[in-house]
Amino acid sequence: MLIFTQTSTETELHQILELQQQNLPKGLSDEEKKQEGFVTVEHDFETLFKMHEIHPHIIAKYNDKVVGYALSMSTVFKDSIPVLIPMFTELEKLSIDQNFIIMGQVCVDKKHRGKGIFRGLYEKMSAVFTGKYSSIVTEIDAKNIRSVNAHNAIGFTTISEYPAHNQVWKIVALEI
């Protein structure tokens, strides 16, 4: 049975990190990155736990195992993850409502893709944060076409593109 919920145990956080490891570019071929997408940031348990303490992460569980996640990231972490600092700098330049939650990374286990989990994670995230925030914001490596297309398909719009770390990043937002 598939359920969408929020993290509540350290076991779930460890399962997120395991799924993340399987989808980092360093473990994927160029063809896999192109076909399946990838995640960019490699979190450590301490940071993931601190993020969870402020806003538990959104997860999809199948038979009690995390098969998808969308990390909930407060803007208080804007200086905690070096690869994300340029995104926060860019966001501060934009004339947008600054009352947003950052979706720090989304990932679905390869065996569970194409089953609506990606959409379900964002539906759960929207439900949890409606009334607290006006939008969900994230950034995507422009080369990650699968992720760009998936975010567009559920209503995200591009609010900025900028270069950093020898990559082009798309900042996208979904009003909630």
Instruction: Report the C-alpha gap between 14 and 23 in whole angstroms.
Output: 15
The CATH number covering residue 135 comes to 3.40.630.30
Domains of the chain: total: 1
Domain region containing 143:
2-175
**pLDDT truncated to tens, each residue of the chain (176 aa)?**
999 999 999 999 999 999 999 999 898 998 988 888 888 889 999 999 999 999 999 999 999 999 999 999 999 999 988 888 999 999 999 988 889 999 999 999 999 999 999 999 999 999 999 999 999 999 999 999 999 999 999 999 999 999 998 999 999 999 99
